[in-house]
Amino acid sequence: MSNRNAKRLRSVACLLACVASAAQAQQLPATAPSAVNPMAVFAVPTAPAAAAPASNNALVPARRFPAPALAGQSRQAHASAVQPLPARLNLYPGQTVVHSIGGSLKRVAVGNGEIVDVTNIGRNEVVVIAKKEGNSTLHLWMEDGRQYSVPIVVGTANAHAVADTVRMLLADMDNIDVHVIADRVVVTGKDVHPALPARLKDLKDIYPQLLDFTSTDPVGMRPMVMMDVQIMEFNTTALEELGIKWDNVINGPGGAWLKDMQRNDYFRLLPESAPFNNLDELPSRLPGTLGHFGIATAITSQINLMMNQGKAVLLASPKLSARSGGSAKFLVGGEVPVPIPQGFGQYSIDFKEYGIKLDIAPVVNGSEEISTTLLAEVSRIDPSVSAMGVPGFLTRRSESEINVRAGDTIVISGLVDSQAAQSVDKLPLLGDIPVLGKLFRSDAFRGNKTELVMFVTPRIITPGSELNQQMIEQGESFRQQGLQQLPPRQQEFVQ
């Protein structure tokens, strides 16, 4: 019984194993194509690969894989993802591509197996794997006798990845396009930003396959910058006068003959326009007739204490416009001829500018940040100093290089000019007496201290900017006001 039972158990186990194998065989075709990578399914070649030749230029037969058994939607998706084999392949090290062949493939080989590796998938597709930089050739033999040769170039890096990086780094630049041509990244564009060539030069140091085919605007349509500058002089004047100031005018000599019209012991009458103010001090009892001749002088003293503070004066308020990278100049004043000896008694004439002078040279970047050099100078003629008939100049100059955003204001100050003067008013002789002479003189001190302050506000002007529209409206308003002041006939001629 034991042997018979053991045989029965072995039979049942074999039957169960056959049933399980049959069930697994029925489920495998429906699940394998969607769960397994097709590239990995055909890793086992049907025939052993031939040994590679010793020479790098010799043809290397490729390994052959069986065609994948795809069905339904999986076969359609695979066919749409595979691209036809192009006339030229441009790859980068480590890149793998799959291409379809228009026909039945018989044999495939590559010229340099150290550069690329090629395998076929069935008879209609090939897989190309780039190994390292270099050039090679893919050779194809078809069943109908046709032959094809496809050049392969393995570049230094992934051109598409480099192009994406370049696009990201140049996202703030207008009028440019980035293309991938073969293994090169080409940047094209017209009327590009002036800062673009320098940035592309830095990128070419990192990515040698980058080509620059951009061109700047030959006319130079760069951003316009308007510099609103206010030059003000803060005047601090100290006028101090302390002392005894005597009147410098006295009454001249005079004479009179008086006679009372009526007199008594209690009162008397005086003329309404009495020339002497001290006659009321005379005794009330006077003879009927009075004769007088003398000098009547009214001398008073006055003590003054005065402090006068100055005020701010606007010297100039120019609005200079210059394009980015250009310059603009402003001058209010004049020029003085200066003779320059040339030898043999000959002279040439040069002219020295004076007045209010302003020079700017702005540069704008893509973030509306402005860098500019600013030269401001205020000068005047000093007649107290001269040489060969040419006067000297009193000059205050400031030269700065600033960075500022459009619309912000920078204040430049510190140009101080100090002047002092002292005067003494005194009576002749009496004012020179030691100690007591101070009672007969007045000392005056006048100090004048001015500080030059500049307020600089740069703005970027475009045809559609609000500032430009305001300036156009203001100019049109001035034009209409000027036309209204002209006679009617001239108005018709101007219009």
Among 418, 420, 417, residue whose Cα is nearest residue 379: 417
Cβ atoms of 153 and 182 within 8 Å: the answer is yes
Cβ atoms of 132 and 152 within 8 Å: the answer is no
pLDDT of 260 over the 90 cut:
no
- Assign 117 a pLDDT band (cuts: 50, 70, 90): very high
Q: Which residues pair with 246 in a beta bridge?
A: 301
pLDDT of 187 over the 90 cut:
yes
Can you read off the two tokens belonging to residue 150? 């496809």
> Crossing angle for the helix pair 159-169 and 196-206, nearest 10 degrees?
150
Amino acid 150: pLDDT: 92
Among 178, 202, 180, 198, residue whose Cα is nearest residue 188: 178
- Assign 53 a pLDDT band (cuts: 50, 70, 90): very low
Amino acid 492: pLDDT: 62
Amino acid 301: pLDDT: 42
- Assign 244 a pLDDT band (cuts: 50, 70, 90): very low
- Assign 367 a pLDDT band (cuts: 50, 70, 90): confident
Residue 482 CA to residue 490 CA, distance in Å, equals 11
- Assign 178 a pLDDT band (cuts: 50, 70, 90): very high
The Cβ of residue 91 has, within 10 Å, a number of other Cβ atoms equal to 23
Q: Which residues pair with 471 in a beta bridge?
A: none
CA dihedral (484, 489, 494, 495) positive or negative: positive
Domain boundaries, the chain: 38-154, 159-216, 226-231+306-461
Amino acid 127: pLDDT: 92
Amino acid 326: pLDDT: 86
Buried b (16+ CB within 10 A) or exposed e, 252-272: eeeeeebeeeeeeeeeeeeee
- Assign 128 a pLDDT band (cuts: 50, 70, 90): very high
Q: Residue 293, Cα to own-chain centre: how many angstroms? A: 88
Which of 480 and 12 is assigned the larger pLDDT? 480
Where does residue 194 fall: left (phi above 0), alpha (psi -120 to 50 degrees), or beta otherwise? alpha
Among 353, 250, 365, 354, residue whose Cα is nearest residue 299: 250
Query: What type of residue sits at position 56?
Result: N
Mean pLDDT over the full length of the chain: 70
- Assign 8 a pLDDT band (cuts: 50, 70, 90): low
pLDDT of 51 over the 60 cut:
no
- Is 89 buried (19+), middle (13-18) or exposed (0-12) by CB count in 10 A? buried
pLDDT of 148 over the 70 cut:
yes
pLDDT of 77 over the 70 cut:
no
Amino acid 432: pLDDT: 72
Please state whether beta strands 410-426 and 105-110 pair in parallel, antiparallel, or not at all (unpaired).
unpaired
Amino acid 221: pLDDT: 66
* Least confident window among 86-95, 155-164, 254-263, 271-280: 271-280
pLDDT of 125 over the 70 cut:
yes
Can you read off the two tokens belonging to residue 192? 């590009």
Q: How far is CA 418 from CA 289, 311, 315, 322, 372, in A?
A: 67, 15, 17, 35, 30
The percentage of the chain sitting over the pLDDT mark of 90, rounded to a whole number, equals 7
Where does residue 379 fall: left (phi above 0), alpha (psi -120 to 50 degrees), or beta otherwise? beta
The CATH number of domain 159-216 is 3.30.1340: yes
Dump pLDDT digits (tens) for 295-344.
444 433 443 443 344 566 778 888 888 888 888 988 888 888 888 888 78
For residues 114, 115, 117, 123, the Cα torsion angle rounded to the nearest 10 degrees is -130
The CATH label, of 3.30.700, 2.60.40, 3.40.50, 1.25.40, for the domain at 38-154 is 2.60.40
**Secondary structure percentages of the chain, helix, strand, coil, to 5:** 20, 45, 30
pLDDT of 361 over the 80 cut:
yes
- Assign 184 a pLDDT band (cuts: 50, 70, 90): confident
Amino acid 139: pLDDT: 92
Q: What is the mean pLDDT of residues 397-404?
A: 85
Dump pLDDT digits (tens) for 19-32.
444 444 444 333 33
Residue 203 CA to residue 165 CA, distance in Å, equals 10
In this chain, the answer to whether the domains covering 38-154 and 159-216 adopt an identical fold is: no
Amino acid 388: pLDDT: 75
Which of 145 and 76 is assigned the larger pLDDT? 145
Residue with tokens 């210059």: 322
Read off the DSSP letter of residue 268.
Answer: B
Which of 290 and 361 is assigned the larger pLDDT? 361
Among 90, 70, 67, residue whose Cα is nearest residue 78: 70
Dump pLDDT digits (tens) for 213-226.
988 766 666 788 88
